[in-house]
């Protein structure tokens, strides 16, 4: 096992090695060029090593967290992809011991009623079967999904009055007690207690204040952050102060930032002001970013714990994503086997950026 590292050149190293990020590779990989293709030249499956069927059965004592990134193109044009994902989750909840599903935002493409209706229909397949926690993306805000402000139809279709009664529900942002965009959730699986913190696109500074209070109150639970924009495709965090528009789609570049005196946070700000400040964060997850839609980083907090951060987004694949989703098998020894699977294609991806193992930090 190689030591974990946070060097932005990880992707070059990973193409020469099967190991990285404090992770044990679960498959071999041929030498690949260091340079990643530009967005216009990215081909749907050039980076894939596809295998028939679902990943191997989970080990005894394991449980699964399912990650659903950017479903916007399903909501707009390809509903069968979204419906296939949640149907598979519901069907396999017992065999995979699925503890929860995490949606990383851009639930819709244009914040339109018909797109929210499809999202509601897809996610409702999990009601009473698998808890699910959702973050909002930039396309979920404003008329047309242009993220000019923080208006959204999310609360109409996923009302707090319904979801706030579930046993996993913890609470919402204290300044907006009737809104569901910023929330936290509690679940127990594999003998461990977890906190999932779901934050809006480009969280406001006072939302981050609230989030810190929530994580501090639940310091004995392993904390997972889901938010739409945190990591970039080059395996670094979004960092407006240092890189500005050199990283496209940073929350600071959206109209909502201009309209609110730049009251938004990007990945680096969330790392410094939230994630690195607590001894119980183990993982962050985000979608949003294009090109190959993949990124990984392991960073050391002040207390020496290494916290894993992952970008995963499949909307660039055919048909809005071919129903690809990420499966995290959390094992009894505290490690996590990660693999991407498509129920529509009934294939899993064994490429080293799609199948790997992480060592999750213990909660201090």
- State the residue for tokens 């967290």: 65
Count of other CB atoms within 10 angstroms of residue 354: 23
Residue 313 has pLDDT above 50, yes or no: yes
pTM confidence score: 0.90
* H-helix or E-strand spanning residue 285: strand 281-286
Residue 18 near residue 29 (C-beta atoms within 8 A): yes
| pLDDT computed for residue 46 by the predictor | 85
pLDDT digit string, tens, across residues 174-202 = 999 999 999 999 999 999 999 999 999 99
Residue 251 near residue 229 (C-beta atoms within 8 A): yes
Cα torsion angle, 176, 309, 139, 249, sign: positive
Residue 288 has pLDDT above 70, yes or no: yes
| pLDDT computed for residue 243 by the predictor | 98
> Which residues are registered as beta bridge partners of 308?
283, 298
Average pLDDT over residues 77-89: 98
pLDDT digit string, tens, across residues 201-253 = 999 999 999 999 999 999 999 999 999 999 999 999 999 999 999 999 999 99
Distance of alpha carbon 195 from alpha carbon 168, whole angstroms: 9
Residue 8 has pLDDT above 70, yes or no: no
Nearest to 142 by CA among 229, 255, 250: 255
CA dihedral 52, 58, 59, 64 (to 10 degrees): 150
- Both structure tokens of 59: 């080990």
- Both structure tokens of 117: 């209706």
Give backbone dihedrals phi and psi of 92, rounded to 5 degrees, phi first.
-105, 15
| pLDDT computed for residue 42 by the predictor | 59
**β-pairing, 355-359 with 335-342?**
antiparallel
Residue 131 has pLDDT above 60, yes or no: yes
Q: Kindly list the distances between the CA atom of residue 105 and the CA atoms of 227, 334, 363, in Å, as whole numbers in the listed order.
A: 7, 27, 27
Percent with pLDDT over 90 in the chain: 86
| pLDDT computed for residue 259 by the predictor | 97
Rg for the chain, CA atoms, rounded: 19
Residue 39 has pLDDT above 60, yes or no: no
Residue 19 has pLDDT above 90, yes or no: no
Domains contained in the chain, CATH given:
45-359 (3.60.21.10)
Q: How confident is the model at residue 16 (pLDDT cuts 50, 70, 90)?
A: very low
Classify residue 43 by its DSSP letter.
-
Strand, helix or coil at 301? coil
Give backbone dihedrals phi and psi of 217, rounded to 5 degrees, phi first.
-65, -25
Task: Return left, alpha or beta for 323; rule: phi > 0 is left, psi -120 to 50 is alpha, else beta.
Answer: left
Residue environment code for 327-342, b if the CB has 16+ CB neighbours within 10 A, otherwise e: bbbbbeeebbbbbbbb
């Amino acid at each position: 096992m190689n030591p974990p590292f946070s060097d932005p050149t990880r992707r070059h190293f990973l193409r020469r090695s099967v190991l990285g990020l404090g992770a044990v590779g679960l498959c071999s990989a041929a030498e690949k060029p260091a340079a990643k293709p530009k967005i216009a030249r990215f081909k749907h499956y050039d980076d894939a090593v596809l295998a028939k069927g679902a990943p191997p059965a989970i080990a005894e004592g394991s449980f699964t967290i399912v990650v659903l990134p950017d479903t916007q193109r399903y909501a707009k044009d390809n509903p069968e992809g979204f419906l296939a994902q949640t149907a598979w989750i519901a069907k396999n909840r017992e065999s995979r011991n699925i503890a929860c599903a995490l949606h990383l935002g851009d639930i819709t493409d244009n914040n339109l009623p018909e797109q929210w209706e499809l999202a509601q229909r897809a996610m409702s397949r999990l009601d009473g079967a698998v808890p699910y926690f959702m973050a909002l993306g930039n396309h979920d805000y404003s008329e047309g999904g242009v993220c000019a402000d923080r208006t959204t139809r999310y609360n109409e279709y996923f009302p707090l009055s319904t979801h706030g009664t579930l046993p996993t529900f913890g609470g919402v942002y204290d300044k907006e007690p009737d809104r569901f965009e910023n929330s936290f959730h509690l679940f127990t699986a594999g003998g461990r207690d977890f906190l999932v913190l779901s934050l809006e696109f480009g969280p406001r500074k006072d939302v981050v204040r609230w989030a810190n209070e929530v994580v501090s109150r639940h310091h004995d639970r392993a904390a997972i952050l889901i938010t739409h924009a945190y990591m970039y495709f080059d395996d670094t965090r979004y960092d407006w102060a240092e890189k500005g528009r050199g990283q496209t789609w940073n929350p600071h570049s959206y109209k909502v930032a201009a309209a609110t005196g730049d009251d938004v946070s990007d990945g680096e700000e969330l790392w410094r002001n939230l994630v690195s400040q607590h001894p119980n964060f183990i993982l962050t997850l985000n979608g949003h970013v294009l090109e190959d839609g993949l990124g990984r980083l392991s960073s050391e907090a002040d207390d020496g714990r290494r916290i894993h951060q992952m970008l995963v987004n499949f909307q660039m694949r055919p048909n809005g994503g071919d129903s690809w989703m990420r499966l995290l098998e959390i094992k009894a020894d505290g490690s996590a086997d990660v693999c991407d699977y498509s129920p529509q294609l009934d294939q899993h991806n064994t490429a080293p950026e799609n199948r790997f193992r992480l060592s999750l930090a213990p909660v201090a």
